[in-house]
Structure 1
């Protein structure tokens, strides 16, 4: 016990005792994946070695000075770092939930004493499977992101239909006809294969299993949408074959690319694990009794066949998580299906472009929509908000429900996590008390919701339906729970953060409680005595604290600590930013007595604690249902708070059934823009009117691929009729609005201000505002690029040439085509004049040859320019008589 009151233990010295033996052991460890961190539990601290030590030094301590080298200095030694238990716990939590790393924790093999040279793998965890470390990492910390893991199985079935080549030929033929080039090559059909993807996913933190099955493309776009919607952290997929070049390997490589793009950790398992065996029996053991009474494989179509890809995925997922091996999982899980069509599809690029959520490693308060909207007070509310943002609803009724709740509208623990601890019999009295405190708040919550008056009867009915009726029911169901807690726990001790059984239940507990009271009285007496001796005011200057490191001790600020210097009555224990800790001989003895009596009390009450936890576990269904209600309310209130306190008021959009209306946005902007510092922006209006502007083209200019772009855009506008924004650099596509009335052309506005006489003396301002019409209808002619070139002082002849070429490329007709400035006859005559003049110039130019090559120096160039001027003068009369030639010469 003396170590408790001395300086902090020298963990490096203790660490060095087993260098030689440990180095031998470490060198023989099997290789690990690059994304895996190995930590070694050395009882009082943790250590990491090799590349792991360097990673931790860089990302946790942010300095290389913490690295120690074990072994021979001549050989460089093994880089190593040590972490206190608190630092290691925080690092593990960050590694698994934010950095997408795997973790291995190695513990000393028994019977080694202090010199721990050999270790065994005790715990493994990955971003999608936190079961082994959940109690270590999340006892006093909320889990803010769900550890979703999924297994994927790809099934292929032959289907006769149009091949991709056929589709591409159709596009090519369409493009050829449009450009006046006759098509070549036959269009054929072929036998293709339909790709059916079966997915099983699980969230072990809330004990839920889900399945989904769908047809997907070669790009696995639906898989990517599912990953985004569920916030998948880890994926289990089959291993590739030994050859690596089969059709299945090709598909798996494509799938891996999608998973890596979405930041999902990949776990490859043997193909045999994806063979469905006894799925119906396994699920019956895992599912809640109310669920397993109905055969899951019969009620869910995706599981109806043991050979279906979804059944195979479920088999692999259960095997990887080893759920059946833990009896606490039996009759504890729920099963659901996930329908992709119920939510708007998002891919990884859209997720980043829209700024919906962050990566978990940096602050996202004003940089992501989740950070902006997250005013939630509970962990479950934060998790639900993330799900809502990644799963935008497409059901009109459900959207309007949320909007109505927003129009109407802290001390709640994470019930799902606590109920899981109850089921696994690892909960403490603190967990029991936290649920009790939450239950006590329900009546106040119900009263608060009842007291708010609304003029809209529909809002009142909705609040009653969604919240009040269910909260009242939960409050009634938890009344017996509250009575049990009040009768068995000593609630007066909660103010001291002590969670104990009332001493009245046992004679031994009553005796220990009396001794504790005597020790506490002694601590208070010693506190007053030392205060008088040092002349310090109690609690303001001289603090009596129960430290985890030192036990009961006194604390002074560094400024006041000089009063104990050179005083033999006081023993200094340590110093940190809070002040100086010290003790006395009497206080040290009382602290030891307090710790020993408290430990004895805890052991004596352990049997009663187990009974109370078992009773609390029977309330798990009520707690989980209440948790869902609190999370829902938390998110809705957060939305309402953000809406009311926005820099510019949010408005509620008017929604109508799918396919029946228009898309009209007034002064639209991304909500993150207006909360950024020193950023100004221009809001935009959007009008996509059904039958008038379903297909809108925003354009610049070039020529490549025009035929393919025309065929695709025409097909969407003519046959699909989906609202579509087509941002393109093909000027020619704007002619589509002449064929289809519901195609509208738009351009981005720029403002050019003339500041002087020359073309360079102009300022161009990009307004970032979209307006109707083609770009050559605006004040900037047809190309911003030419104006930018002028502002950058490009040579005037280069700018003229660019303008002439732009006119040629963009002269493709249409409703804006202008009448030619010169007649056909005048143009033909002018062409003959120019041709004759150039022939004359060529014949008069003297050139010398040497070895068959033309030789020309600077004098020759000047001479030929002079000859050209003479030729022009000789044709002056004919040039002056032809306006077409005059206009041509002005552009040179």
Structure 2
């Protein structure tokens, strides 16, 4: 029987630590390297492009091994974390030279996608959020999130899985911490999204952090925050003093936008490139600090509903807009402010070095200049922002007194502290400086005494200080003058009792000096740590000023105006523009349009050809609303707006392959969300609803949706369509208005005016647009012939369904339908049934899915009405229909 391979004490220690962190790559410190072993080495070598070697290569079972230099480990850790992996950093906890037996090693930190403290320059204006998610027996979800690098900590209660997904999307979540309470379907969705999911079995046990959750009144919020803090304590193994007291928030206190609407409107991410370029954030971000950039993004993602707060922001933006020189001075000072939030985080975390403290000091030096600038401005507007600024001058003075102008990266090798800061340190430095001078004097005197001008005094860590004489000059040296220490190929090295005595003084001074410098630095860092809350508050106030100066600068560049907020539902925008498109095209090239919807007007039905600007017109209204509700001026010559509570959009074609949903299913699901959740204070944008199915189905659904919004939802709605038949609805729906985007045909060429005009469009110009796209001429000609034939056969017949209002009126005179439309299509019942044409010849009609008149099918109809199509895959839908067929005896 073969013997089991012997496990060395070192590998036994490695295996024990690895067993505690099975889901992490273990960076195990060995001397000057971090090593990976076994499966970690194989995976790490592949991901990091390292050479895979073997430990005990001559044994029967060699151990795969790969390593990285300890001084470059952070860059390799960043690569792994960026790829979604966890890294457990195992450090030597004692000096190997003094250790008895195996060197003690421990995991000093678990680095995960959600717990990164250091970010690249490109990501300075991005938060790094991790989210804790749990579900209570009531069905509610508790959601808490934190950015470990800035100390932000917030929590909310979420009612539905849809809202959970919206929040995760808004936060661009890097990692989710959960317990075992989440339902399986939600876990499957999170896994499919590729977000790292980590598990924490118990909540917060360290009562020293209870103060962080003391303001959370709701059980769901507190439970999720406890879960998150427990995970951070377990993984980071160090002070979390920079974490701010958790704030509870309600999703409904902000303008709500679901993840689809955020994507459609391209608020912070370009829908094609996934980058900032071409987004509202890209347009508005002229911030000078990383803190300001992050805050602006947060404002865009959470527009306000509080009119008083918005008017306060407008006042400051207006004041900065009117005072060019004051704004310029503010910008110049902000330019010198580093990321106070993340610097404070590194101080509390114990990872700040001398250069970080210099950045902190330099930032604090700018605050008095900012305060002087605000003092010179209108105090009715800037008095409160000025009063909120604490310069933290005591910390700035302390750092400037202590830290040298060019400190090293390492905090343990000396060179950090200025002369004159500490008397004992000055003594050590005096000893070292005079010791080195003594060595120089000794070298000069020995050269003169021996006559050997190449004689030199050197140093290495093995032998200390020595006198070196080349072999060519050995004969000139008195054999009794020195004690031989080392023989080299071309030289001999010697020592003297006097040299060794001074060596001891110099080396002791160097060691004690470096140790004392480190102690002085940590004391300074601890003093700053006691003022973390002041620094965080200062950072938040400077970030707010930075965002507002950015909004003022953009308003000046693009001629934005202050919006007038109204308590009514009236919209009156004069010469409105799409701000992002205008920046790309230039102000002169963009065609401005009014958006006027009085209180009694609910729906604007927009027709016109493709490429004419219908979608742009709709998006520019939504972006104007978002801008107004973050406190920005807006792209128009004047704007009167209500405060909207929710924006729903369905713009563009998209599917959801992960959930198994087609483009049309996604379209209907998003439309359903709007119809179910919108209020009279909401804004709905529907672009070409119904186009993903057969013409008659699509037109029927489009009309039913319009009628439902008109009669029930009553939200302000922009509805663009190519179904020209729907434009007749303005005769029966009093709160609907037709508009169209102008276009003319000249010599077979389509000319867009991009101007929104009253009334419906006369045609769609689809073939003209196809010609513009470059389709073959033969194809265009054939399409024109087919179109003429179709128009000739349909010219005497109307395609418009009777509206719900017409059905309810006994005096209405209905137009004869061109085909047999389903008579049962109403806002409340979208089932389809057979309807007899009034013409002499039978027309093909769409068959009913169920016989509505049959009493025996009432149970099937009841199930159909409650069916949650938005959360069903096509296969699940097919199986359900099969069950119904069996029940109906089909």
Query: Does TM, normalized by the shorter one, top 0.5?
Result: yes
Equivalent residue, structure 2, for 1:235? 176
Deviations 1:613-658 (A, max 9, x none): 333333222212111111112222233334444xxx2412413135
In 2, the alpha carbon distance for the partners of 1:653 and 1:679 equals: 21
In 2, the alpha carbon distance for the partners of 1:375 and 1:337 equals: 30
Matches within 5 A, 1:100-111: 100-105=84-89
- Are 1:612 and 2:537 matched, yes or no? no
Equivalent residue, structure 2, for 1:375? 286
Matches within 5 A, 1:656-667: 656-664=565-573, 666-667=575-576
Equivalent residue, structure 2, for 1:202? 146
Matches within 5 A, 1:129-148: 129-130=115-116, 134=117, 137=118, 144-148=125-129
TM-fit CA distance, 1:801: 3.4
Is residue 236–residue 317 contact of structure 1 (8 Å, CA) maintained in 2?
A: yes
Equivalent residue, structure 1, for 2:196? 265
Equivalent residue, structure 1, for 2:634? none
Gaps of 5+ in 2: 1-6, 321-326, 328-334, 444-491, 493-498, 608-687, 804-812, 817-838, 842-890
**3-state SS of 2:246 partner:** strand
TM-score, normalised relative to structure 2: 0.58
In 1, the alpha carbon distance for the partners of 2:77 and 2:408 equals: 32
Cα distance change on mapping 1:428 and 1:814 into 2, 3 Å:
closer
Cα distance change on mapping 1:411 and 1:37 into 2, 3 Å:
farther
Cα distance change on mapping 1:749 and 1:238 into 2, 3 Å:
farther
1:740 to 730, 733, 738: 733
Equivalent residue, structure 2, for 1:302? 218
In 1, the alpha carbon distance for the partners of 2:341 and 2:135 equals: 33
In 1, the alpha carbon distance for the partners of 2:236 and 2:27 equals: 25
Is residue 125–residue 291 contact of structure 2 (8 Å, CA) maintained in 1?
A: yes
TM-score, normalised relative to structure 1: 0.58
Matches within 5 A, 1:488-507: 489=402, 498-503=415-420, 505-507=422-424
Deviations 1:587-610 (A, max 9, x none): xx9xx9999976542213334334
Deviates more, 1:388-397 or 1:494-503: 494-503
- Are 1:803 and 2:791 matched, yes or no? yes
Deviations 1:370-400 (A, max 9, x none): 3443333333222212212211223233233
**3-state SS of 1:446 partner:** helix
Matches within 5 A, 1:784-803: 792-794=780-782, 798-803=786-791
- Are 1:469 and 2:387 matched, yes or no? yes
In 1, the alpha carbon distance for the partners of 2:785 and 2:106 equals: 78
Matches within 5 A, 1:413-424: 413-423=338-348
Cα distance change on mapping 1:32 and 1:807 into 2, 3 Å:
farther
In 1, the alpha carbon distance for the partners of 2:47 and 2:553 equals: 36
Matches within 5 A, 1:31-110: 39=27, 41=29, 43-46=31-34, 83=68, 88-93=73-78, 96=81, 100-105=84-89
In 2, the alpha carbon distance for the partners of 1:678 and 1:810 equals: 43
Is residue 490–residue 500 contact of structure 1 (8 Å, CA) maintained in 2?
A: yes
Gaps of 5+ in 1: 1-17, 158-194, 241-247, 304-308, 527-584, 755-761, 821-829, 833-892
Equivalent residue, structure 1, for 2:261? 350
- Are 1:509 and 2:493 matched, yes or no? no
**3-state SS of 2:388 partner:** helix
Matches within 5 A, 1:204-223: 204-216=148-160, 220-223=161-164
TM-fit CA distance, 1:343: 1.8
Equivalent residue, structure 2, for 1:704? 697
- Are 1:641 and 2:641 matched, yes or no? no
Equivalent residue, structure 1, for 2:760? 774
In 2, the alpha carbon distance for the partners of 1:675 and 1:520 equals: 66
In 2, the alpha carbon distance for the partners of 1:481 and 1:49 equals: 45
Cα distance change on mapping 1:490 and 1:385 into 2, 3 Å:
closer
Is residue 663–residue 688 contact of structure 1 (8 Å, CA) maintained in 2?
A: yes
In 1, the alpha carbon distance for the partners of 2:743 and 2:64 equals: 59
- Are 1:654 and 2:563 matched, yes or no? yes
Is residue 212–residue 337 contact of structure 1 (8 Å, CA) maintained in 2?
A: yes
Matches within 5 A, 1:812-891: 812=800
Is residue 403–residue 652 contact of structure 1 (8 Å, CA) maintained in 2?
A: no
Deviations 1:545-578 (A, max 9, x none): xxxxxxxxxxxxxxxxxxxxxxxxxxxxxxxxxx
Cα distance change on mapping 1:211 and 1:796 into 2, 3 Å:
closer
1:127 to 104, 113, 128: 113
Is residue 47–residue 80 contact of structure 2 (8 Å, CA) maintained in 1?
A: no
- Are 1:406 and 2:317 matched, yes or no? yes
Is residue 280–residue 580 contact of structure 2 (8 Å, CA) maintained in 1?
A: yes
Equivalent residue, structure 1, for 2:709? 716
In 1, the alpha carbon distance for the partners of 2:717 and 2:569 equals: 16
Equivalent residue, structure 2, for 1:575? none
Deviations 1:789-818 (A, max 9, x none): 986232775444333466578533899x99
In 1, the alpha carbon distance for the partners of 2:157 and 2:439 equals: 68
TM-fit CA distance, 1:428: 4.6
Deviations 1:298-328 (A, max 9, x none): x64413xxxxx33442343233223799673
**3-state SS of 2:416 partner:** coil
1:438 to 352, 363, 366: 363
TM-fit CA distance, 1:451: 3.8
Matches within 5 A, 1:173-192: none
In 2, the alpha carbon distance for the partners of 1:404 and 1:681 equals: 28
Equivalent residue, structure 1, for 2:620? none
In 1, the alpha carbon distance for the partners of 2:597 and 2:353 equals: 58
In 2, the alpha carbon distance for the partners of 1:49 and 1:324 equals: 21
Equivalent residue, structure 2, for 1:287? 211
Cα distance change on mapping 1:94 and 1:639 into 2, 3 Å:
farther
In 2, the alpha carbon distance for the partners of 1:520 and 1:753 equals: 93
**3-state SS of 1:447 partner:** helix
Is residue 130–residue 145 contact of structure 2 (8 Å, CA) maintained in 1?
A: yes
In 2, the alpha carbon distance for the partners of 1:712 and 1:819 equals: 21
Cα distance change on mapping 1:222 and 1:89 into 2, 3 Å:
same
Is residue 428–residue 513 contact of structure 2 (8 Å, CA) maintained in 1?
A: no
Is residue 99–residue 361 contact of structure 1 (8 Å, CA) maintained in 2?
A: no
TM-fit CA distance, 1:341: 1.6
Is residue 39–residue 47 contact of structure 1 (8 Å, CA) maintained in 2?
A: yes
Q: Please tell me the root mean square deviation across aligned C-alpha atoms, in Å.
A: 5.6
In 2, the alpha carbon distance for the partners of 1:85 and 1:640 equals: 47
Cα distance change on mapping 1:732 and 1:264 into 2, 3 Å:
farther
In 2, the alpha carbon distance for the partners of 1:28 and 1:491 equals: 40
Matches within 5 A, 1:572-587: none
